[in-house]
Structure 1
Amino acid sequence: MDFFESTGKVAIGSRLRMLTDKVTEDASQIYKLYDIDMQPKWFPVFYSLSKGEGKTITELAKAIGHSHPSVSKIISEMLQRGYVLEKKDKTDGRRNVVSLSKKGQEVAVKIQDQLIDVNAAIEELSAQTRNKLWEAIGEWEFLLEQKTLLRRVMEKKKDRDSINVEIIDYQPKYQEIFKALNEEWISTYFTMEDADYKALDNPQGYILDKGGYILIALYNGEPLGVCALIKMDDNEYDYELAKMAVSPKAQGKNIGFMLASAVLERAKSLGASKVYLESNTILKPAINLYNKLGFQKVAGKPTPYTRCNIQMEYIMK
């Protein structure tokens, strides 16, 4: 086990697989010990069928937490061994119901002594440990159901990448990247419009000179994200969050969230009470981001953009 001691928790998958292989190998030998012709992978299906009436493959898959194809394959193997029967459902001819055959029922009786002894062995093993594996597995399964390991690693990656992100104020040297990033994402999903060119060709006059701000996200010193806070001539809203774009090569680094958060903080420092934005619902990641930040959908207002089909507001806390 020196390998696992040196690698630590990052090799959890390999270690669990080794433990599973070891237990499965023993399980095969245990069936032989009790003169039972059974493959370990069949047991969840066999046990479920031994406890009641017949079930469809869909019902079995749901009951034991396996995929439909996996259960279907197991049923095919058990049919060949003569352990199960498959027949049409009397109430719905489109469904096949699986049940234990006479041979399967005989095995269900025969296996009882084995189950008693296996349970006693597991109890003995648990009594010799400080950590209860069975309870721990249940806890891990519950937690991973709430949030997968992949999702957790993605979040840690974002946190680590965020360390290399710096949010700074706009400078004239960033005008080209401000326009290029926005043109790139707009052209990917929509068509550039007159209102886009007004802001992107002249950010100084259209945004900054009117009391607005532009923030730039640097990743390892390279400008890869932009976002504007535009002063609104509106009795209801103080500023608009707009022209947010992140380079495709910086996706997944939390830059959009950091930019939008920084823009909202800037609005708050300026005494704003509400911030407005316009977007389109096909931009699911963006809409999810706005929801995460606390924006709420509002009734439509006149807009210069034909692509806009959703408008949202953020109320300062």
Structure 2
Amino acid sequence: MLTDIAMFLQDQGELAMGSRLKALSERLYAIADEVYRASGQTLEARAFPLLRYLQVKGPATVTEIAAAIGQTHSAVSQAVAKLRRGGWLVRRRDRADARRGLLELSAEAEARLDRLGPQWRAIRRGVRAAAARCGGDLLGALAAFEREVARGELTREILAEHARIDAARVEIHPYRADWREHFYRLNAGWLERYFALEPIDRQVLSDPDTHVLAPGGAIFFAALDGEVIGTCALLKEAPGVYEVSKMAVEPGFRGRGAGGLLLDAVIAEFRRRRGRTLFLESNRKLAPALRLYERAGFVHHPAPRPGSHYARADVYMVYEGKR
């Protein structure tokens, strides 16, 4: 049931739009918090924009964060202070400019956020479904949406979606044309965070049919409950010589084994083709990825690969099989 205050604000029509959206915002925060609590997480929904920005974009200043998430410098500063006390954030000096203080996620925060993909996917699905049911003009849709929230239907739907997603197993699929956009999206995300999109990256990611599949390569996708969360490519360098490339798993879904399954699929395809050499190039910054490659049977070579295509590559590994 709607409260008398909610009914009054509805009667004010367009004049109360801001107040209604604020009230709805408070309820949506509460729903998200309920979803997090139901799955044993301690994240507060109000902190999501700030933490998600740092997870996706990497270290940033308070000013940069405030501009990106549409909040005041003061509001972000207050949130940062609270999150630092809670162990979510650490502050360090910018190596390029000692006068600038950068905020970044703590190691513990990175680990926490890397487990929240199922909750975030459930919230997306629940809100999308509720909004679709509401239809009509904006004010009518808002009223219908408020009723959905007040009746608890949105909460129930999100919790049900989360239970289903969390129980699902990661599945590996071969290349699908309708998933091509995810090949670009997932790889561009981590490249822009840690390095930069180089010309060869843009070329391959924008047209994988021409630059990966046509020369004899392969692309695999990891999906959870029907939605893509990861990808990896097998590039044909020369007859019998292949490269593992463009491995990416969506932030929030790491730790579910998607990376290992993708790598297994690429290695299996390499063997199926009776390849002679399988190599990869990476960077020392990407320690979790390097550990994954090592476990899979890739061995470090003492120097970067001669003639490397990538300016960022300072690691060269060749597959020798699991020992």
Smaller-chain TM-score range?
A: 0.3 to 0.5
TM-score (normalizing by structure 1): 0.47
